[in-house]
Amino acid sequence: MMAMNLFLAEKPSQARNISTFLNANRKREGHFEGEGVVIT
């Protein structure tokens, strides 16, 4: 099982910035996903 890191952002704009920095480019309903990371 792969470990995932979860990042919680206060605002959608913060989530977009964090996802860009972490290369989490898969946008899902309410969150972004990347290799081992989820930003919501």
Q: Name 13's bridge partners.
A: none
The residues near 31 (Cβ < 8 Å, ≥ 6 apart) are 15, 38, 39, 40
Q: What is the pTM of this model?
A: 0.83
For the chain, the structural domain boundaries read 5-39
pLDDT of 1-40, one tens digit each? 779 999 999 999 999 999 999 999 999 999 999 999 999 9
Burial code of 15-38, b = ≥16 C-beta within 10 A, e = fewer?
A: beebbeebebeeeeeebbbbeebb
Q: Give just the sign of the alpha carbon dihedral 28, 6, 23, 12.
A: positive
